[in-house]
């Protein structure tokens, strides 16, 4: 059965700390891995990763994928209170049926709290 | 205005009542989805639609139905709500062939 496991489930840090969030997966027919940030509103897209070893970066956030070891990490440097959110990892898997739908399997999320 | 709008944002109802959650989008996306989110679980797909005449069941469709009234509108119905349908429900959209979802802000449903 396809599964995506995120760790830790929750994390409390202070402003300025660096955090690493983990996402491991066991998925048949892997296509891509996506990271979303969920605050008290709509989850918003952060990164999509398809190739191993290529870092995606946006400001203080970066992410990398290891397709051999089946995991991804999301790094946040110099954390700010505005980084407090649930971070969702999702893996896209190709499906043979139902014309064009590639299944997205979500992890349970990591809840990050950044304190001043 | 939000690209994907969900109504209501919060709803409390009683067991056995019929509930409709509505979703409208201004993205012009063909694909629309309904997910539910429960604490400790990942987002799970209820139904998805690739165009107005296309409706497909997701992994947890029992107890739910949907209607795609127009390209921009996709509603989710609970014909007879039960307490274990208490959850946060998200509507999402995507461009055909793409895997990046645009989410609505969520509808929190409580069934007593």
> To the nearest whole percent, how much of chain A has pLDDT over 70?
96
Contact A41 B106 (CB under 8 A): yes
| Per-residue pLDDT tens digits of chain B, which is 112 residues long | 679 999 999 999 999 999 999 999 999 999 999 999 998 888 999 999 998 999 999 999 999 999 999 999 999 999 999 999 999 999 999 998 778 999 999 999 999 9
- Cβ A44 vs Cβ A36: under 8 Å: yes
Angstrom distance (rounded) from CA A64 to CA B35: 26
Contact A42 B2 (CB under 8 A): yes
Of the listed ranges A27-41, A88-102, B22-36, the least confidently predicted one is A88-102
Closest residue on chain A to B9 (Cα):
A41
When CB atoms are compared, the residue of A31, A98, A107 closest to B42 is A107
User: Which residues of chain B have a CB within 8 Å of the CB of A98?
Assistant: 56
User: Which residues of chain A have a CB within 8 Å of the CB of B50?
Assistant: 99-101
Angstrom CA distances, B62 to A37, B56, B76, stand at 29, 12, 12
Dihedral, CA of residue A3, residue A4, residue A7 and residue A9, to nearest 10: -80
For residue B98, give every residue at least 6 positions away whose Cβ sits within 8 Å of its Cβ, in sequence order, or none. Answer: none
Structure tokens at A68: 């051999």
B window 14-73, beta carbon within 8 A of A: 40-45, 48, 50, 56
For chain A, the average pLDDT equals: 93
> What per-residue confidence (pLDDT) applies to B97?
77
Contact B99 A42 (CB under 8 A): no
């Amino acid at each position: 059965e396809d599964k995506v496991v995120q760790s830790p489930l929750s994390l409390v840090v202070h402003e300025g700390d660096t955090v690493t969030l983990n996402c491991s997966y066991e998925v048949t027919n892997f296509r891509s891995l996506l990271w979303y940030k969920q605050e008290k509103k709509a989850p918003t897209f952060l990164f999509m990763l398809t190739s191993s070893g290529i870092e995606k970066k946006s400001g203080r956030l970066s992410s990398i994928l290891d397709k051999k070891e089946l995991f991804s990490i999301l790094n946040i440097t110099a954390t700010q209170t505005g980084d407090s959110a649930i971070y969702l990892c999702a893996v896209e898997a190709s499906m043979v049926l139902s014309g064009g739908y590639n299944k997205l399997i979500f992890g349970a999320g990591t809840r990050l709290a950044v304190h001043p | 205005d939000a690209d994907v709008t969900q109504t209501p944002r919060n709803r409390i109802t009683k067991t056995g009542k019929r509930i409709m959650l509505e979703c409208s989008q201004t993205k012009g996306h063909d694909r629309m989805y309904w997910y539910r989110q429960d604490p400790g679980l990942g987002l799970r797909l209820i139904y998805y639609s690739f165009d107005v005449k296309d409706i497909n069941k997701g992994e947890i469709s029992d107890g739910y139905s949907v209607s795609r009234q127009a390209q921009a509108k996709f509603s989710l119905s609970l014909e007879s709500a039960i307490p274990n349908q208490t959850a946060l429900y998200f509507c999402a959209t995507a461009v055909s062939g793409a895997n990046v979802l645009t989410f609505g802000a969520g509808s929190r449903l409580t069934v007593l």
